[in-house]
């Protein structure tokens, strides 16, 4: 189900967005708890509490930024030896991969064999020479969304800063021009419209983690919420 668009000025917009986010957390929590009790859905490849669907629903915070590739920037900094700001041209000089992975949402849906193409997280780590003591990467988006990812979960060839999905360029609804895809974790970790990656020594909450979601989010361990 597509999220509603909210086009209001501050501070009323901020108040409505907070209310919307709280309501979304309530609905997602309820849905996730209901799926958690069901168990496997007749396919051993599905994590506990997940059900296969044909298409991924469109979920966001209520706004869908329009970001032109020629104006897009990705700022990478924090605990790194070589902070970098990528524009579209520089970003496409990095190595690319194509990966095929299932994806899993905390609300209980999963989609089989999605194909993503883009720059692997491991290439970003190498390009900026992340400090050995950096333990987390905070991904921040154009819509104000944020989510922390353990560096061991980010520094993988199967984690992708994707520009293409199933053979087509990403659309605005799904995070164009670049979204993060962390397929082995619940999909709230796969931030859309990525504009910043910040390497950190210590953990900090993101949007959903600050509302009670688990700091890692492994679907096979049902890491939906913090203990």
Quick one: which of 183, 164, 185 has its CA closest to 175?
Answer: 164
| Domains along the chain with CATH numbers | 12-221 (3.90.420.10)
- Beta strand pairing status for 194-200 and 73-78? parallel
**What is the pLDDT, as a whole number, of residue 87?**
97
**What is the pLDDT, as a whole number, of residue 192?**
95
**What is the pLDDT, as a whole number, of residue 94?**
97
**What is the pLDDT, as a whole number, of residue 28?**
52
Beta-strand (E) ranges in 88-185?
97-104, 109-120, 136-141, 146-150, 160-165, 168-169, 179-181
How is residue 3 annotated by DSSP? Answer: P
Mean pLDDT per segment of 10 residues, for the chain of length 227 residues? 38 50 53 45 74 79 84 98 98 97 94 97 98 98 96 98 97 93 97 97 96 96 89
179 in helix, strand or coil?
strand
């Amino acid at each position: 189900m597509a999220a509603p668009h909210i086009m209001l000025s501050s501070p009323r917009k901020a108040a409505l967005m907070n209310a919307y986010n709280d309501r979304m957390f309530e609905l997602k929590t309820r849905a996730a708890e209901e799926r958690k009790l069901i168990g496997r859905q007749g396919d051993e490849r599905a994590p506990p509490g997940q059900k296969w669907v044909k298409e991924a629903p469109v979920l966001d915070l209520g706004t869908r930024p329009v970001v032109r590739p020629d104006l897009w920037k990705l700022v990478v900094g924090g605990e790194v030896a070589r902070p970098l700001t990528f524009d579209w041209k520089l970003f496409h000089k990095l190595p690319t991969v194509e990966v095929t992975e299932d994806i899993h949402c905390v609300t209980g849906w999963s989609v089989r064999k999605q194909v993503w193409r883009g720059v692997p997280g491991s290439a970003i780590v190498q390009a900026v020479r992340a400090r050995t003591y950096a333990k987390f990467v905070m991904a921040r988006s154009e819509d104000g969304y944020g989510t922390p990812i353990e560096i061991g979960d980010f520094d993988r060839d199967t984690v992708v800063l994707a520009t293409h999905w199933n053979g087509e360029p990403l659309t605005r609804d799904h995070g164009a021009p670049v979204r993060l895809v962390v397929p082995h974790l619940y999909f709230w970790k796969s931030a859309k419209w990525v504009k910043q990656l910040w390497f950190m020594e210590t953990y900090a909450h993101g949007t959903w983690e600050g509302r009670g979601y688990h700091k890692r989010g492994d679907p096979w361990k049902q890491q939906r919420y913090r203990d």
